[in-house]
Amino acid sequence: MASYTRGSASKFWEKVRQLLTVNPESNTGVPITGVYRTPSPGSQPETYVRPSTKHSDVAQNYYFNRDARRNYPRLAVYSQNDVAKLIAASHLKSITAGDQDTSKESTTTEITIPEKLELTEVIASSPVLYSADKLPPAPPTLLTYHWKKSKDVDDPDPGVYWPMKMVS
């Protein structure tokens, strides 16, 4: 049976390998240079031809579209009136529930939002989504932490501008 892998570097080390291995018939796994991948990929006479794509077309591939260094986000300016309208319109329901009968001709009501809105009034009148009793959903976690107040440092004065609390 012809082997496509070479043995040890010398006959002495080959005998040592055969004596010390569990299976003397196993090979080293190093391929023989003249047999493996003939002809080698580097010796092939063909030259590489780059496939043409729409990105290699210079006529319709402008540099400013590809320039990631100057691809800044576009500037958008919103006034307080615009933000107030968006907040006021976010509570309006535009899609009917799925269990209602849709065979009847659906009636749509058009709700107009006043042109001049005060942002503070809209925020104050918007319903509170979360409170101390109704907290937002939290991702599930397997670890629970029990923080304890550190005994290494004294508590800062209560009137300090930037109080720090040490926990461990």
In a domain, 153, yes or no: no
Q: How far apart are CA 145 and CA 65, in angstroms?
A: 49
Give the per-residue pLDDT at 108.
63
On whether residue 23 sits in a domain, the answer given is yes
Asked if the model's pLDDT at residue 37 lies above 70, the reply is: yes
Lowest mean pLDDT across 22-36, 74-88, 103-117? 103-117
Q: Does residue 8 have a pLDDT over 90?
A: no
Percent of the chain whose pLDDT exceeds 90: 9
Q: Indicate whether 147 belongs to any domain.
A: no
Amino acid 147: pLDDT: 84
Q: Under a CB-based contact definition with an 8 Å cutoff, are residues 166 and 149 in contact?
A: yes
pLDDT of residue 79: 93
141 part of a folded domain? no
For residue 157, tell me if it sits in a domain: no
| ∠ Cα 77 79 80 (to 5°) | 145
Q: What is the pLDDT of residues 107-149, one digit of tens each?
A: 666 777 888 889 999 988 888 888 889 998 988 888 888 888 8
Give this prediction's pTM: 0.34
pLDDT the model gives residue 107: 62
> Comparing C-alpha atoms, which of 114, 69, 113, 73 is closest to residue 92?
113
Please give the tally of structural domains in the chain: 2
Say whether the peptide bond before residue 39 is cis (omega within 30 degrees of 0): yes
55 inside domain: no
Element (H, E) at 81: helix 80-89
Q: What's residue 76's pLDDT?
A: 92
| Confidence (pLDDT) at 77 | 94
On whether residue 80 sits in a domain, the answer given is: yes
14 part of a folded domain: yes
Band of pLDDT at residue 81, cut at 50, 70 and 90:
very high
Pairwise CA distance, residues 40 & 168, whole Å: 63
Domain that holds residue 119: 73-90+110-123
Residue indicated by tokens 């002809």? 39
pLDDT for the residue 51: 83
When pLDDT is averaged across residues 64-71 and rounded to a whole number, the result is: 83
